[in-house]
Homo-oligomer: A and B are copies of this chain.
Amino acid sequence: MVMEKDARTFVLLFQCQDTKGIVAKIAQCIFGRNANIISLDQYSSDPYGGDFFMRVEFFAEDEAVTGATLEADFSRIAAELKAEFRLYEKTKLLRMGILVSKLDHCLLDILYLWRSGELKVQIPFIASNCETNRRIAAEYNIPFHYVMASREDRKEQEVLSLARANSDFLVLARYMLVFSPEFLKSYGKDIINIHHGFLPSFKGAHPYRQALEKGVKVIGATAHFVSDTLDDGPIITQAVREVSHKETLADLVHKGKNLEKKALSEALQAYIDHRVIKHKDKTIVF
């Protein structure tokens, strides 16, 4: 029964220059379609103007009201306000392609959440440059693609074909290769990466070693959108914990794994719930 309701539940992400009456227009439109707002979050970059961002979740009782009806409604409002918007049907799951290298702790965490129904998403494929992950993919009945990628030949064309055809976004669950700007441009959709350091500190390789050498007393992990610049895209979530002088590199790596799982799974959860808006170099996470 909840399922039936979910089937008629929509999420609207809406952004434009702030002006009077935006909430009224949209709420009125939703009410006009005999739908009920379940939750509404709104944020303006400046209280007296600036950029306007909104997430509305609503339940459209009438069967006559379809995604197409609503898409048309919001297009009209968006045109008026020179706004951008995205409309999602709650039961239409996003397709999340997974790329992973050797370390499998984030992969396993994602798959567990997915199987237990906590991460509501489709997983069309797991692609990896490590054969060892084939077994895991098989266990979860997910198509596995071995990509013989390396620093010398990143096999971007192969990954690109796979990703464009089968995914709405990609997650790099500890994927150790960097994509070229051309790849990012051709793919054109969101890519979420987990970096095992507290950005903007400790970019690049061996962040735990960097943290150890610096002698920090708190370590962190960062989930962020991939951009043209290495480890520099908009940050979605960060997880941190205290460490002491006693911790060895192995201890940091071990404790860091939990931080990586936490930061990545929370970022994916937010993204899949359509609670993340990328705006310039930053994110709004409702």
Contacts and interface: CB of A to CB of B under 8 A. Distances in A.
Interface of A: 5, 9, 18-24, 27-28, 30-31, 34-44, 47-48, 57, 59, 105, 108, 112, 116, 118, 139, 198-202, 213-218, 220, 234-238, 240, 242, 244-246, 254, 258, 262, 281-285
A262 B284 CA distance: 26
A242 B238 CA distance: 8
Contact of A39 (B27, B43, B198, B220): B43
A162 B151 CA distance: 51
A237 B139 CA distance: 33
A57 B44 CA distance: 11
A200 B217 contact: no
Contacts of A236: 217
Most buried by B among A20, A35, A235: A20
Query: Which among A35, A217, A282 has the highest number of chain B CB atoms within 10 Å?
Result: A217
A133 to B, nearest CB: 14
A21 B283 CA distance: 30
- Main DSSP-derived SS at the A contact region: mixed
Contacts of A235: 214-217
B31 A38 contact: no
Contacts of A20: 31, 34-36
Given A40-B40, A218-B198, A218-B238, A245 B28 contact: no
A44 B38 contact: yes
The 6 closest A-B pairs by CB, nearest first: A215-B282, A24-B27, A24-B31, A21-B31, A23-B27, A217-B238
Considering residues A18, A38, A47, A220, which has the most beta carbons from chain B within 10 angstroms of its beta carbon?
A47
A236 B200 CA distance: 20
A269 B85 CA distance: 34
Contacts of A108: 108, 112
Nearest to A54: B40
B215 A48 contact: no
A22 B41 CA distance: 15
Contact of A27 (B28, B105, B112, B244): B28
